[in-house]
Amino acid sequence: MLVGLSSGVRLRFVTRPVRCLLACLALLALPAPTASAASFETCLAGLRAASLDAGVTAATFDTVMRGITFNPEIIELSQVQPEFKTPIWDYLAGLVDEERVNDGRAMMARYGQALAAAEQRFGVDKATITAVWGVESDFGRSFGTKPVVQSLATLSCEGRRQSYFRSELIAALKIIQRGDIDPGFTGSWAGAFGHTQFMPSTYLRIAVDLDGDGRRDLVNSAPDAVGSTAAYLKKSGWVTGGTWGFEVQLPAGYSGPSGRTRKEPMAAWAGRGITRIDGSALGAGPSAGLLLPAGLQGPAFLVTKNFDAIYSYNAAESYALAIALLSDRLRGRKGLVAAWPTNDPGLSRAERREVQTLLMRRGYDLDGKADGVIGSKSRAAISDFQAKAGLPQNGRASASLLAALRGR
């Protein structure tokens, strides 16, 4: 999800530098109201002035914002500090499973022409583009259910980073004004939307009309979405024809440098006794950093500048690794060779759905959902079952939990 990027919004219909200055001052001067209806209306009035100064027409603002209300749930979501930290082996087990690999291959066949056009135009291979699509929205199945304009208006008027969300709201209004996307489009609580979850300002800077219909529609056009994703990765430094990296084997007792950003030539890593995972020589290649996502006891990877381009999409190494590994599977390569340092592996989405189904059969209230998403209700049910079954009470949907559920 492209959250936290600088807005980079180009102010359309602005003819004088002073108007840009006025727009910026208007944004900074807006109040930081509470959730009361009166204060929200005051904030909206300020947002209207700033939007008009930034090139949004009064007609667009008034039409789109008519009936918009403050949504306290969005503020709650923005303030959540997750108590449950997902181990990387659980994270990857749910994102890079056979179901997603098979779905990805089907999408590559279905949208082969669009993916080929994106690859030719931007130099990003179709497997990587498809992997981003799969991780971001499960190939269009999970756009997010929150109205983007309402979410951004709420975050513009309360909470942290109000100025950032105000600029994103203005960007969203410009998208609607251009006629590219319908006003009621939905997304994440933070405003990311579409097949590959662009923030509005990122859309304005980078989105492309790959299908040639005159609209840059990342919601209703998968070709536009994959083209825009390729454009983003290219702009983020993707090297055409290069690799994201590969799994490696460390020598016993390795104590050398590591870290994604500490790039060194392949020869330097080879000199420290590092080989490819099958024991063969590293060979020639671009400079790379040694990524150890679970420490020295887990899988190790040499990652290149292309991995950094993926990382820029959502600044988390686990996220970038999920896309990298999924892209390899979509190319027909095997998955990880080295094992994660755990005796209780994570579960695929199909297995997680089975966990939820078995929990509900035992009377646990999961709102009737077996969707494979392990949220707070599922974790609470798991924790309760673990306590009764004499298992470590950690709330994890793991192999040992599934075995216990199956056996009872």
Closest CA to 224 of 327, 142, 114: 114
Strands (E), 166-297: 186-187, 245-249, 259-264, 275-276, 288-291
The helix/strand/coil state of 408 is coil
d(CA 219, CA 369): 26
Q: Which residue do the tokens 């190790």 mark?
A: 300
If phi over 0 gives left and psi between -120 and 50 gives alpha, with beta otherwise, what is residue 28?
Answer: alpha
Q: Which residue do the tokens 């056996």 mark?
A: 407
d(CA 321, CA 341): 17
Specify whether the CB–CB gap between 302 and 282 falls below 8 A: yes
Which residue(s) pair with 222 in the sheet?
A: none
C-alpha separations of 394 from 77, 90, 260, 357, 378 in Å: 23, 13, 30, 19, 12
The number of beta carbons lying within 10 Å of the beta carbon of residue 167 is: 24
Closest CA to 349 of 141, 43, 115, 108: 141
Structure-token pair, residue 67: 């009936």
**So which residues are the catalytic ones?**
136
